[in-house]
Amino acid sequence: MPKPPTPLPATSSGTASSGTASSGTGSPEDASSGVGAGTRPTQPAQRPRVLSVEDLGVRLGGRQVLSDVSFHLCEGEVAGLIGSNGAGKTTLLRAVLGLTPVSSGRVSVAGGRGRHQAVGYVPQKVVLDADLPVRARDLVQLGQDGHRWGLPLPSAAKRAATEELLAGVGALHLADARVGQLSGGELQRVLVAHALAGRPRLLLLDEPLANLDLHSARDTVALLDCIARQQGIAVLMSTHDVNPLLGVMDRVVYLAGGRAATGSTDDVVRSDVLSSLYGHHVDVLHAHGRVIVSVGDDSHSDDGCDAVPASAGVLVGGPVHRGAGAR
Amino acid sequence: MSIVHAVFAPGFFSNGPVQAALVMGAVVAAVCAPVGVLAVLRGQSFAGHAFADITSTGGSAAVLLGISPVLGFAASAAAGAASMEGLGARQHGDRDLVTGTVLGGALGLSALLLYLSTTRQGTSGATVSVLFGSVFAVSSANWPWVAALGLPALALVAAAYRPLLLSSVSPELAAARGVRSHLVGAMYLAALAASVALAALTIGAVLSTALLVGPAAAALGLSSRPGRAMAWAGAIGVTSVWAGIVLAYDSYSWPPAGRGWPVSFFVVALVMAFYAASRAGAHRHGRSPAGKAA
Amino acid sequence: MLSGLFSPFMLHSWEATSLVAVAAGAVGFFVVLRGSTFAAHAIPQGAFTGAAGAALVGTSTLLGAGVFSLVAVGALARWGRRGRHDVVTALVLVGMLATGSLFLSLGSQYAQQTFSLLFGEPLAVSSGYLLPTVGLAAACTGLVLASYRRLLLSSAAPELALARGVSPATANFLFLLAVGAATTLALPVVGALLVFSLMIGPPAAARSLTARPGMALWLSVLLALVTAWSALVGAYWSNWPVGFFVGAAAVFWYVLGRAAKAWGHRPRNAPAVGSSR
């Protein structure tokens, strides 16, 4: 795949203070401040970098899924990984986890410890049988020692740690419930506790808001923001809708066509930047504090079907998601 | 006293084969419990059953070659596990197909071996005894083999307990925690093969599947904790085997022939009754132990 | 040595074997598509129990096999809807086999009879079998062809099928019914233990050779015919049990299918590392 025709913008001016490997050699005018909505006030001093992705490329089954993706995350930052279905969000997360082999570039996670120790992961879809004899506290405990050999020994310290983790996500009352009988939002919290149990420095979540109603989605975002701020964990979550994350994101990684635009919300979610990413004109509209990205494929833009997520035409950030795209 | 005699026919406790059957049946049920719970959670009941049939191939080969049946059972279970692993039985979509293919090949071979041993040696009873077995035919000479198969099976499950449990919950979560699911899956397959070989050897192929799957499936509804579910499975399995042996011993005085009914019939009936009761109980508590739609 | 293979005496064997192969190949296409290998292995054990029971009370083997196949199908369809599929299948299977062992122990069957019920005896197919065999084969193939589209849709995408008014439970029942019919038909010819091999081997190869479902169905029938005929010739020539050839052929087809797939994927996948598909 050829290089992007136009240079993509660099990371946000506030956080990318040191000369970073993540810069895509952005043109200076792109990095100027955008419209007022979106990114929360940039943090002051630089903090230790937790994740660096440099010129990442991934080929799967002979297809180039990702190319030249660069960004980085610091301690306590929240980043949104935005893109339509099939844009490569899950592939990127799996590459960061080390579950998908990288064909070019580099992914490094801070800390000399192994990748699995430093990264917590909440997959998009965990289907559990209702009769699974595993309680929420068992699942969280497996987050601490699920990779260890041998039988687990009862330990008061582990039990206390488990309950603390469950309390931290507001799910202590679910400790003795079977995991297969939790609702979507409840299971999400328990899975976050499971992921945090390994004391990670980086938390990855694949579409954590996909199956939640508006209220639960807001709660989940608030919870993740709180975890990032209080525990200094970097959070990277994928979503196809940028709106629920407005106001908490320090950084956006916007994926389209296997390439990425990264930076602050105001720097990335803009008509000119997304147009160059998609390779054709993209409108970014601001209405009532929400962002609407209208990606009209040239060939389909006239027929009024540009919101159907089948082809390149995807409505990101619209209040209503149609059809399979939202499920 | 008369009630005791009505339940336990005279001579029950002093009968050598009965004693051996009681002990051996309990040991097998105890080994099958943890392995079986994991088999049910991992959706590997078919593999568990396949191993039972595959070991009958080894049994037939042993009859033909005149070697110890135990050797045949163990070797064929190992060969079955290796070929399932080699053909890629770990891929979820194709797993049942691979299991079935290996099983079909083994059964075909079994047919040939039984045919050859029948025609060459005139041991025509081999078919039924190899497939259906009988717990009363267990000899105490098998004890070393019971230990040699049962202990490694338990050790493998204990060693990989937490990774196995986590990957049964979600392979994705296990991979993210650094569990090498291929290795853990292969370890489990070996444990499954060993415990099923043990069960098929001592109590027959039919009963081994019943003891592997039935008590485990019944136990899932009884406890929300993995360890306790395994304990329940063991208790149900041992109870079914013992009660089945008592009934089979009693049935020697039953119609029509006075030859006794097969133990496997009673044990399977009891196991299924436990499963039905557990399902009904779970249903009444408003929990439907629904599986994945597949 | 093979001169007697086409003697009038063998005619019934050829006819019965061919009918069995057509039915098994057609049903097997859906067995593989739905991933129902275990069910296809369990239902024949029900048929075996039925055959043993028929010997006990002195009725026709085919009748006993048919009735008990239906019992197994009903149990799978009823209890398989809720609960874990493979657990229900395993329990139905052992329940059937345990009943079968009871019938065997109560009756006074010769080991030889049991052996041929388990492993098949196509050379001994009598003319009495032929009429019911034709009927069953027609019913089974007709069922598969008539419900081809709804079975295909509900196997590939149950939700889509439901949206089009095809209930997954009904589709599953139709499918199991077809398996039961094919089993009953095949029991005397191929034997209870190896019917499922004839059902999974040919379609496993067929689906790797073509991506078009209709084509795969016909190819599956064709390969099943090749399997059954070779097994018949092999059994006649060597006097070995036909089940051996059927089981070996299933392994051969599966490996062939995998090889074809690997070969077909190679050019596109060559530069890729790790997980394909």
Copy the structure tokens of residue C204.
């496993």
Tell me the chain C residues in contact with residue B107 when contact means C-beta distances shorter than 8 Å. 119, 193-194, 197, 243, 247
Lowest mean pLDDT among A204-218, B2-16, B64-78: B2-16
The CA radius of gyration of chain C, in Å to the nearest whole number, is 19
Query: What residue type is assigned to position A176 of the chain?
Result: D
Helix (H) or strand (E) holding C200: helix C195-209
**Cβ atoms of B205 and B69 closer than 8 Å:** no
A62 to C275: CB separation less than 8 angstroms, yes or no: no
**Cβ atoms of A268 and A252 closer than 8 Å:** yes
Tell me the chain B residues in contact with residue A99 when contact means C-beta distances shorter than 8 Å. 175-176
**Shortest Cα distance from B241 to chain A (angstroms)?**
24
pLDDT at residue A258, rounded to an integer: 82
Q: Counting beta carbons within 10 angstroms of the beta carbon of residue B43, is it exposed (0 to 12), middle (13 to 18) or buried (19 or more)?
A: buried
- Residue ranges of B 141-180 with Cβ closer than 8 A to chain C: none
Q: What is the mean pLDDT of residues B175-198?
A: 90
C272 to A61: CB separation less than 8 angstroms, yes or no: yes
B177 to A129: CB separation less than 8 angstroms, yes or no: no
pLDDT at residue B4, rounded to an integer: 67
Write out the residue range of the structural domain in which residue C102 sits.
Answer: 3-266
Closest residue of chain B to A143, computed from CA coordinates: B177
Q: Is residue C43 part of a domain?
A: yes
For residue C114, name the pLDDT band (cuts at 50, 70, 90). confident
Q: With an 8 Å Cβ cutoff, is A139 touching chain B?
A: yes
pLDDT digits (tens, 9 = 90+) for A274-291: 887 877 788 888 877 778
Write down the mean pLDDT value for chain B.
82
What distance lies between CA C80 and its chain's CA centroid?
Answer: 19
pLDDT at residue C119, rounded to an integer: 81
C277 to A61: CB separation less than 8 angstroms, yes or no: yes
Indicate whether A27 pLDDT > 50.
Answer: no
pLDDT at residue A19, rounded to an integer: 33
With contact defined as 3+ CB pairs under 8 Å, the chains touching B are A, C
B99 to C37: CB separation less than 8 angstroms, yes or no: yes
Q: Is residue A170 part of a domain?
A: yes
Q: Of A36-45, B201-210, B276-285, C52-61, which one has max mean pLDDT?
A: C52-61
Q: Which among B99, B111, B292 has the least Cβ separation from residue C241? A: B111
Query: In chain A, how many domains are there?
Result: 1
Q: Is residue C87 part of a domain?
A: yes
Q: What is the mean pLDDT of residues B29-57?
A: 91
Query: In chain C, how many domains are there?
Result: 1
Query: CB within 8 A of B209, min separation 6: which ones?
Result: B45, B48, B49, B52, B196, C90, C93, C94
pLDDT at residue C58, rounded to an integer: 84
pLDDT at residue A30, rounded to an integer: 39
**Shortest Cα distance from C266 to chain A (angstroms)?**
10
Indicate whether B266 pLDDT > 80.
Answer: yes
Query: What residue type is assigned to position B135 of the chain?
Result: V
A139 to B169: CB separation less than 8 angstroms, yes or no: yes
Q: What is the mean pLDDT of residues B174-182?
A: 87
Report how far residue C151's alpha carbon sits from residue C176's, in angstroms, rounded to the nearest whole number. Answer: 11
Closest residue of chain B to C108, computed from CA coordinates: B257
Q: Is residue C275 part of a domain?
A: no
Write down the domain spans for chain B: 2-284
Report how far residue B223's alpha carbon sits from residue A99's, in angstroms, rounded to the nearest whole number. Answer: 34
pLDDT at residue C111, rounded to an integer: 66
Tell me the chain A residues in contact with residue B176 when contact means C-beta distances shorter than 8 Å. 97, 99, 116, 119-121, 123, 195
Place of tokens 């596109």: C268
Q: What is the mean pLDDT of residues B123-148?
A: 67
Write down the mean pLDDT value for chain C.
85
Indicate whether B143 pLDDT > 90.
Answer: no
For residue B29, name the pLDDT band (cuts at 50, 70, 90). very high
**Cβ atoms of C185 and C47 closer than 8 Å:** no
pLDDT above 90: percentage of residues in chain A: 23
DSSP summary character for residue A211: T
For residue B131, name the pLDDT band (cuts at 50, 70, 90). low
For residue C161, name the pLDDT band (cuts at 50, 70, 90). confident
Q: With an 8 Å Cβ cutoff, is B262 touching chain C?
A: yes
Helix (H) or strand (E) holding A250: none
The length of chain C is 277
Q: What is the mean pLDDT of residues A201-228?
A: 89
Q: With an 8 Å Cβ cutoff, is B45 touching chain C?
A: yes
- Residue ranges of B 206-235 with Cβ closer than 8 A to chain C: 206-207, 209-210, 212-214, 217
Three-state DSSP class for residue A95 = helix
For residue A311, name the pLDDT band (cuts at 50, 70, 90). very low
With contact defined as 3+ CB pairs under 8 Å, the chains touching C are A, B
pLDDT at residue C268, rounded to an integer: 45
Indicate whether A13 pLDDT > 50.
Answer: no
Query: CB within 8 A of C70, min separation 6: which ones?
Result: C180
Q: Is residue C276 part of a domain?
A: no
Place of tokens 């190869």: C205
> Regarding predicted confidence, which is higher, A213 or B32?
B32
- C-beta atoms surrounding A177 within 10 Å: 17
Q: What is the mean pLDDT of residues C71-92?
A: 88
Task: Say whether the peptide bond before residue B256 is cis (omega within 30 degrees of 0).
Answer: yes
DSSP string, A162-193: HHHHHHHTT-GGGTTSBGGGS-HHHHHHHHHH
Q: Is residue A250 part of a domain?
A: no
Which one of C275, C276, C277 would you mutate to disrupt binding with A, by most A Cβ within 10 Å of its Cβ? C275
Q: Is residue C178 part of a domain?
A: yes
Q: What is the mean pLDDT of residues A41-55?
A: 74
Write out the residue range of the structural domain in which residue A173 sits.
Answer: 111-126+133-147+154-200
CATH code: domain B2-284 is 1.10.3470.10
> Regarding predicted confidence, which is higher, A104 or A16?
A104
φ, ψ of residue A47 in degrees (nearest 5) = -120, 165
What is the bridge-based pairing of β-strands A290-295 and A315-316?
antiparallel
- In terms of phi and psi (left: phi > 0; alpha: psi -120 to 50; beta: otherwise), the region of C16 is alpha
> Regarding predicted confidence, which is higher, A302 or C4?
C4
Q: Which among A97, A117, A134 has the least Cβ separation from residue B169? A: A134
Indicate whether B3 pLDDT > 70.
Answer: no
pLDDT at residue B195, rounded to an integer: 92
C268 to A101: CB separation less than 8 angstroms, yes or no: no
What distance lies between CA B162 and its chain's CA centroid?
Answer: 23
A133 to B176: CB separation less than 8 angstroms, yes or no: no
Q: Is residue C192 part of a domain?
A: yes
Indicate whether A323 pLDDT > 70.
Answer: no
Q: What is the mean pLDDT of residues B174-188?
A: 88
For residue A190, name the pLDDT band (cuts at 50, 70, 90). very high
How much of chain C is in helix, strand and coil states, percent to nearest 5?
Answer: 85, 0, 15
ipTM above 0.90, yes or no: no
Q: How many CA atoms does the CB half-sphere of A123 hold within 13 Å?
A: 16
How far is CA B116 from each of CA A6, A309, B60, B64, rounded to the nearest angstrom?
76, 64, 9, 7
Indicate whether C70 pLDDT > 90.
Answer: yes
Q: What is the mean pLDDT of residues C205-218?
A: 90
A150 to B161: CB separation less than 8 angstroms, yes or no: yes
B112 to C244: CB separation less than 8 angstroms, yes or no: yes
Q: Is residue C271 part of a domain?
A: no
**Cβ atoms of C64 and C117 closer than 8 Å:** no
pLDDT at residue A316, rounded to an integer: 40
Indicate whether C60 pLDDT > 60.
Answer: yes
A62 to C271: CB separation less than 8 angstroms, yes or no: yes
> Regarding predicted confidence, which is higher, B239 or C83?
B239
Q: Chain A residues with CB-CB distance to C under 8 A?
A: 59-62, 100-101, 103, 129, 131
Which one of A142, A191, A202 would you mutate to disrupt binding with B, by most B Cβ within 10 Å of its Cβ? A142
Q: Which among C84, C274, C277 has the least Cβ separation from residue A101? A: C274
> Regarding predicted confidence, which is higher, A111 or C67?
C67
Q: Of A23-27, A49-53, B108-112, C20-24, which one has max mean pLDDT?
A: C20-24
Q: What is the CATH number of the domain that holds C206?
A: 1.10.3470.10
Q: What is the mean pLDDT of residues C162-186?
A: 89
Query: CB within 8 A of C254, min separation 6: which ones?
Result: B87, B97, B98, B101, C200, C201, C204, C205
pLDDT at residue B133, rounded to an integer: 62
